[in-house]
Structure 1
Amino acid sequence: MLPFQIVDGLLMKPGRLFYASMMSFWMVMLSMLALVFTYAPQGGVQLAGLALFASPGLIDPMLVAMTAIGFSASAQSVLLGLVGGFNLGAAGLVLFSMLFWVFGQEAEQRDARPLAEGAAACGAVAAAAVVMISFAGGAAGFLLLLQLLALGGLGLMVLAVGRPDPVEVSGHDEAAAGIDDVIADHVATHAAFSAQIASLSRREFQT
C-alpha cells in the first residue's frame, strides 16, 4: 500500500485515528517503563547530552522492597531486567498490533487481536512481578501504580481491537444491500425477458 493511500484511508476512517493514538500512547508508556526498570538502577543514561532516568525516585521503592526480601544485587538486576523486558515486549506487540489494526485490511485486522492479547499477557506478567515484590517487601511506590495503569490500558486496548469498526461495518452493510438490489433487478429483468420469449413462442405455435 502506497503512503498516500494509507493517509487517505486514515482520513476516511476517523475511528482508526483514535485507535492509532490510543495504541501509540500505551506503546510509549510501556517503553518508558522498560527504560526506567533498565537504566534507573544504573544511575540513568546519557543521550545527546541529556541525563535520562538519573533520578532513582521511581525505582527506589522496588530496590528497598527487594533488599528487604533478601535479594542480592545480581538477583535484583536480573528481576528488574526481566520486568523491563516484559514491558518492552508488550510495547513491541502493541506496535505490531497497531500496524495490523490501523493500516491493514480485513485479513490483517484479524491478526491484530492475538498480538494485543500477547501484549496484555506480557504486561500482566510484569505487573504481577512488581505487585508481588512490592507487597512482599512492604514498599509499594508510584511505579507500581504506573505498572497497574499500563496493564489496565492494555486490557482496554484488547477490548477495543476486538470490536469491529462501525464505519467499516456500515460500509459493508451498504455494499451488501447494493449487491442485493442489483441481483433483484437482474432477476426481475431476466424473468420479464423470459416471459416475453415464452409469449412470442406461444403466438408462433398458435399461428
Structure 2
Amino acid sequence: MKTSRLFYTSMMLFWISFLALLALVVTYAPQGGVELAGLTLFVDTGLVDAAMTAMDGIGLSLMAQSVVFGVLGGFNVASAGLLLFAMMFCVLGEEREQREARPLAEGAAACTAAAAALSVAVSFAGGQAGALMVLQLTALGGLLLTVTSLAQSAIAPADTKAGDVAALDDVIADHAANHAAFSAQLASFSRRGSAS
C-alpha cells in the first residue's frame, strides 16, 4: 500500500470518527446522555448548552429543539457515511473508483456545510455562539481540506498514465524500427544469394 493511501486513510478515518461522535453528541447530550454496557455516555451537556440557550432565546419549543438537533445529527451521520465510502473508493479502488471518491467527499462536505449553516443560524439568531458551532465549522474546514487534497491527487495519476503511454509508444516504435532494419538486411542477403 502506498504512503499516500495510508495518509488518506488516516485523514479520512479521523474525520469519520469526528463526525460520528458529533452526531452522537447532538443526539444524546440534550437528553442527558445514554447508558451503554453500564457506562453513561454524553451526559455532560456543555457542548450543546449554548445552542439550547440560543433556541430557548428564539422561542423554540422542546419538540422544535429536538427536531433541530435531529437534523444536525442526520447531516453529520450522512457526511460520515459519504466520507466512509469516499475513503473505501480512494484507498481500495482502482483508478476509476478513485475518481469517484472526490464527488463523494464533496457530498460529505455539502452535508457538513448544511449542518454548520444551521448551527450558525441558530447560534447567531439566539445570540449564543458556543462549542457546537465551533465544532461544526471545524468539521467543515477539515472536509474542505480533504476535498482539496483529493482534487490534487486526482491530477497526478493522469500525468503518470500519459507518461506510461508515451514510454510504451517509444518501445513499440523502437521495436518496429529494429524489425524493419532486420527485414531490410534479410531482403538484401536474399537478393545477393539469388544474384550469385
Normalised by the length of structure 2, the TM-score is: 0.91
Per the alignment, in what secondary structure is the counterpart of residue 54 of structure 1? Answer: coil
Structure 1 gaps, min length 5: 1-9
Relative to structure 2, which stretch is displaced further, 171-180 or 61-70? Answer: 171-180
Q: Which residue pairs with 2:169 in the alignment?
A: 180
Let me know the Cα RMSD of the aligned residues.
Answer: 2.1
Secondary structure, counterpart of 2:153 in structure 1:
coil
| CA–CA separation in structure 2 for the residues paired with 1:173 and 1:27 | 34
Between the aligned residues of both structures, percent identity stands at 58
Partner Cα distance (2:163, 2:64) in 1: 60
Return the TM-score normalized by structure 1: 0.87
2:83 aligned with 1:94? yes
Instruction: Tell me the residue number matched to 1:59.
Output: 48
2:186 is the alignment partner of 1:193: no
The reply to whether residue 135 of structure 1 matches residue 127 of structure 2 is no
SS of residue in 1 equivalent to 2:129: coil
What's the CA shift string for 1:158-193, capped at 9, x where partnerless? Answer: 111122269856864664454234213311211112
Return the match for 2:39 from 50, 63, 79.
50
**Selected match of 1:160 from 139, 146, 149:** 149
Is residue 2:62 matched to residue 1:73? yes
CA distance in 1, matches of 2:97, 2:162: 20
Q: What is the rounded CA distance, in whole Å, between the counterparts of 1:124 and 1:167 in structure 2?
A: 28
5+ unaligned residues in a row in structure 2: which ranges?
none
Distance in 2 (CA, whole Å) between partners of 1:167 and 1:19 is 15
* Greater CA drift, 121-130 or 41-50: 41-50
Could you tell me how far apart the structure 1 residues matched to 2:131 and 2:172 are? Answer: 62
1:15 touches 1:165 (CA, 8 Å); kept in 2?
Answer: no
Aligned to 2:134: 145
Is the 2:99–2:154 contact (alpha carbons within 8 Å) kept by the matching residues of 1?
no
Task: Say whether the 8 Å CA contact 1:15–1:167 is kept in structure 2.
Answer: no
Question: Aligned pairs, how many?
Answer: 196
Aligned match for 1:123, one of 112, 116, 141 = 112
Aligned counterparts of 1:21 and 1:167: Cα–Cα separation in 2 = 20
How many Å separate the matches in 1 of 2:121 and 2:191?
89
- Check the 8 A contact 2:12/2:87 in 1, yes or no: yes
Residue in structure 2 matched with residue 20 of structure 1 by the alignment? 9
